[in-house]
Amino acid sequence: MTLRPLVADDLDALVALDAATNPHPWSAGLWRDALVRDHGVGLLDDDGQLIGFTVSSRVLDEAELQLIAVSPARQRRGLGRLLLNTLLSELRGDGLARLLLEVRAGNTGAQALYAGCGGDVVGRRKGYYDHGREDALLYTFTLGGDAQ
């Protein structure tokens, strides 16, 4: 199993994995944009099969996690934790101060992952998802760096 950056040949598999794990998947165009603009996409590859990914961005000393997903058939085997811990180590190594993310209030599985990896709930955005129907919880991971 390897963690590696996104290349053009991954786009179809990435669109399919996003569609299988995300209630509001990105369009193929958005994924193509992420490739062209070199957005922070990290892939988990098992012998040529895409089984997980993270998408994150950085501004000054803060990073934001936009997406994290593991193939439904491979969930609950520690792969989400591997992806998140790998990202946290990279950000820490680059001296960033914190990682932020928003998660649906009803997504208790992802919240358990975040809490287990050291995330703290620091806010709640009322009605943030689905035109007011679901709140977002805001998580912060303190990394300790001071990159500018």
114, 128, 129, 139: the active-site residue: 114
Q: How far apart are CA 89 and CA 112, in angstroms?
A: 19
Q: Is 102 a catalytic residue?
A: yes
For residues 93 and 116, which CB has a smaller minimum distance to ligand COA in the complex? 116
Task: Tell me, residue by residue from 44 to 83, as one string, x for binding to ligand COA by CB under 6 A and - for no binding.
Answer: -----------------------xxxx----xxxxxxx--
Q: Is 35 in the site for ligand COA (CB under 6 A)?
A: no
**How many residues belong to the site for ligand COA (CB under 6 A)?**
19
Q: Say whether 114 is catalytic.
A: yes
Beta-ladder partners of 35 = none
Cβ neighbours for 2, distance < 8 A, ≥ 6 positions apart: 44, 45
How long a stretch of residues is the chain? 148
CA 72/CA 89 separation, integer angstroms: 25
Q: Which residue has the tokens 């193509």?
A: 32
Beta bridge partners of 140: 100, 120
Q: Which of residues 11-30 bind ligand COA (CB under 6 A)?
A: 21
Determine if 86 is a binding residue for ligand COA (CB under 6 A): no
- Chain positions contacting ligand COA, by CB under 6 A: 21, 67-70, 75-81, 103, 107, 109-110, 112-113, 116
